[in-house]
Structure 1
């Protein structure tokens, strides 16, 4: 009887339907849909889960028409900061650097215009609380260095925005100084150190770091009125803070290393790199800006990047072929993938910059319409002139678009949280706003010319009429005198 029961149980278990496994996230489908919907020309993606690689792939193409693949080398921009932090922590583990050492202990030449700079520590560089900031030292607007040593040297003119350790300020020179410390303490160039001590041990054989964008870098794009316009990267200093070039294949290994260091760093140091100080949301090249995520994005003028670590073990990296703008294509795509791997159904939306450019296109049409009306009604406007003083005051609003255009770099620093750049850099970041302001300025100039001509014409015409009337009166008087005589 017992034997019969066991046989029946075996038959029942054998015919039972196994529980359905959770479907694998459709990374390919979502990325391709994102590219189609937004017009993003190309991207490279790495998705990992624990120690496993879920997907590495490239999609679309670069500005030269070459297909993006998992082995295409692209700039990872400020994702580089997390790698510089790893290098510093390696030296800290070896006892060669103390995170609370003053920077001057390792770099005696580190001197700021503000004497408080002597209190800046290595830790303050990594968590960006040194007090250095774009508001006190507008890095992008100044002549660029060509070496890490030069990057430290030029800080002699830098002030401080806050007391060291008091407040977070995202500032690339923090990581330039940190990379120079690695260079000096290790006794080898920073690029060589990363190659032998970080990239090599992690198997990131296609990765390297540069101090300036290389001439043979695959070109990227900027967006303008819905079009992706090919551009080359401007010449600027990237060492230590945003100079790593890598591939989706290599970055999958980097994501896996965030679990336990993969032999390049101890698990405790990895945890330190991921953990902001109490009350802050920035650790060492990683931030906790969004609940339940560790993340960081990166921006060059022609490319963007993003990396995310999720608490369930997923890691995501996206490299995109569009540059710094109102939003970050790589970050938007990475957030969509984060929702996807967590079982969500992320909606596709146009980038904010594309939507903003549509608004700007409408404003350009409005500027044209107002200019036409201003020219057509110039004489009517001039008839209310009331003298040149009031005319001048009434023309002043026409100068507004030109004034905004002239001061655009300063105004844009408000939009980009204090980051200050040059006019040429703004052309890369948001060409649409430059085009609109330039067009509006031209339209306003045409209206000003038409109104001034109308005022001048109206000023001279009454004199001619008065002269004609006077002549007529004199002639009439003379005729009367002749008839009376």
Structure 2
């Protein structure tokens, strides 16, 4: 009897252990209290902001079909930032534009695989391949257009209207056949915004308001056509860029953004937007599936980067970049977790903005965040030391040149000249180098300055030091040749 009793207790213990394992919560939120998780997120965000010289930000988190947390961080112009502070969300706007197009597809006013020019019979493109660009190609960024053949940020005469952007299709020469290659290009979504206007009979902003923002209760979200409207709106925190470790307030450079990057939103409203990706209120299930699906030539689908992995399941995301503002959004569809952050600082070579969303996701999942020594604060400190060391090194080199009576040989002088002019060449070709690294995006010089001002300052200082040394060496070289000629004369 005692043996049977022991076996019964053993079986019962195993059963309880198994039930305990199966009943383990899938999320850290269910293990710890909501307040504890929020406090850990606050600490992480504040620490990461301080490490990257970011003055203001707003955060929205949704989880399991509910708003989990919305919060503002920092202050600017003497005002605290909260979850109703408006921020430009830049290219996060593309998912709104794509949704508007799909709503009109649902109403049979637009067809995805019909040529775009069929909706604009007045267009007369010189490149006949333009007539093959479909609406789907524009959504998937496979139109054959890119910044090199169809300038966006570097346009000599900035666009003032969607109609004007549309006329560019008459003169453009495509870089690739439509549908054959992916190339991220903002005007693709300007053409789509005009398509929404044309087929709905409303302005693009009014359509967004009536068919997306109002139904979702996004009362503080709106669309602008030019970044000047951001600068003129006193409710929007002033944007910044980082110069040698110091945030510098600057108006956003003028840029026509209607369609691909014109939305202004708040943390509170972005939470509602992320929840709409689950509840199917704005699209049929079939179109919602297409909306969240990757394209045929890569992960870029319809206003989203759509990816899938074994651990996290399906994920859609997008980043938004202006020169003095930044935004990040990641939605884990299968885990029903969404994270969006907006910042009043812009693109910077030393700031990993995606780390905010990644770190918050790990906190929500109960995973450990690995600390990194690479941050804007550390990298900017390195750049300051490099600038000072370069100046000191230049002074030392000049001192040695003037103290030495030895002239350089022709061979050594040529080698020195080539090495000394290298930073000058990097500066001269910085724009094409950035285009190569940035997958074909052509950046204006003011954009390069705000994104990597400290690096540019160091390259300028190094160039000036090297040019000064080269001039001094050249002078000594010719003085030595002159003296040699005088000595050799009878």
The superposition leaves residues 167-213 of structure 1 with CA deviations (integer Å, 9 ceiling, x where unpaired) of: 21111111111111001111121011111111111111111111111
The superposition leaves residues 408-434 of structure 1 with CA deviations (integer Å, 9 ceiling, x where unpaired) of: 111111222221112222111110121
Per-residue deviation, 1:324: 1.2
Per-residue deviation, 1:251: 0.7
Contact map agreement 1:379 1:455 (CA 8 A) in 2 = no
2:31 pairs with one of 22, 47, 57 = 22
Contact map agreement 2:180 2:297 (CA 8 A) in 1 = no
TM-score scaled by structure 2? Answer: 0.84
Residue 96 of structure 1 aligns with which residue?
A: 109
Residue 73 of structure 1 aligns with which residue?
A: 86
Contact map agreement 2:105 2:112 (CA 8 A) in 1 = yes
Residue 13 of structure 2 aligns with which residue?
A: none
Partners of 2:24 and 2:402 lie apart in 1 by 82
Residue 284 of structure 1 aligns with which residue?
A: 302
- Tell me: CA distance 1:82–1:188, structure 2 relative to 1, closer, same or farther (3 Å): same
SS at match of 2:79: coil
The superposition leaves residues 325-361 of structure 1 with CA deviations (integer Å, 9 ceiling, x where unpaired) of: 2366542211111111112132343665555444444
Per-residue deviation, 1:34: 2.3
Residue 56 of structure 2 aligns with which residue?
A: 42
Gaps of 5+ in 2: 1-22
Per-residue deviation, 1:99: 0.7
Partners of 2:140 and 2:127 lie apart in 1 by 20
Contact map agreement 2:52 2:351 (CA 8 A) in 1 = no
Are 1:32 and 2:52 counterparts? no
Residue 52 of structure 1 aligns with which residue?
A: 66
Residue 210 of structure 1 aligns with which residue?
A: 224
Partners of 1:98 and 1:66 lie apart in 2 by 47
Residue 253 of structure 1 aligns with which residue?
A: 272
- Tell me: CA distance 1:452–1:279, structure 2 relative to 1, closer, same or farther (3 Å): closer
Partners of 1:359 and 1:333 lie apart in 2 by 23
Are 1:326 and 2:349 counterparts? yes
Partners of 1:438 and 1:194 lie apart in 2 by 46
Per-residue deviation, 1:40: 2.0
Residue 413 of structure 1 aligns with which residue?
A: 435
Are 1:422 and 2:444 counterparts? yes
Partners of 1:94 and 1:195 lie apart in 2 by 18
Partners of 2:288 and 2:351 lie apart in 1 by 26
Per-residue deviation, 1:47: 0.6
Partners of 2:320 and 2:177 lie apart in 1 by 27
SS at match of 1:99: coil
Contact map agreement 1:375 1:451 (CA 8 A) in 2 = no
Residue 454 of structure 2 aligns with which residue?
A: 432
Residue 370 of structure 2 aligns with which residue?
A: 347
Contact map agreement 2:328 2:357 (CA 8 A) in 1 = yes
SS at match of 1:140: coil
Residue 95 of structure 2 aligns with which residue?
A: 82
Q: Report the count of equivalent residues.
A: 448
Greater mean deviation of Cα atoms: 98-107 or 153-162:
153-162
Per-residue deviation, 1:37: 3.5
Greater mean deviation of Cα atoms: 352-361 or 102-111:
352-361
Contact map agreement 2:63 2:337 (CA 8 A) in 1 = yes
Partners of 1:80 and 1:350 lie apart in 2 by 33
Residue 473 of structure 1 aligns with which residue?
A: none
Residue 61 of structure 1 aligns with which residue?
A: 75
TM-score scaled by structure 1? Answer: 0.85
Per-residue deviation, 1:266: 2.4
Determine which structure has more spread, i.e. the larger CA radius of gyration. Answer: 1
Contact map agreement 2:53 2:376 (CA 8 A) in 1 = no
Are 1:231 and 2:250 counterparts? yes
- Tell me: CA distance 1:300–1:260, structure 2 relative to 1, closer, same or farther (3 Å): same
Gaps of 5+ in 1: 1-17, 471-485
- Tell me: CA distance 1:350–1:225, structure 2 relative to 1, closer, same or farther (3 Å): farther
Contact map agreement 1:47 1:315 (CA 8 A) in 2 = yes
Partners of 1:350 and 1:73 lie apart in 2 by 32
| Aligned-residue CA RMSD (Å) | 2.6
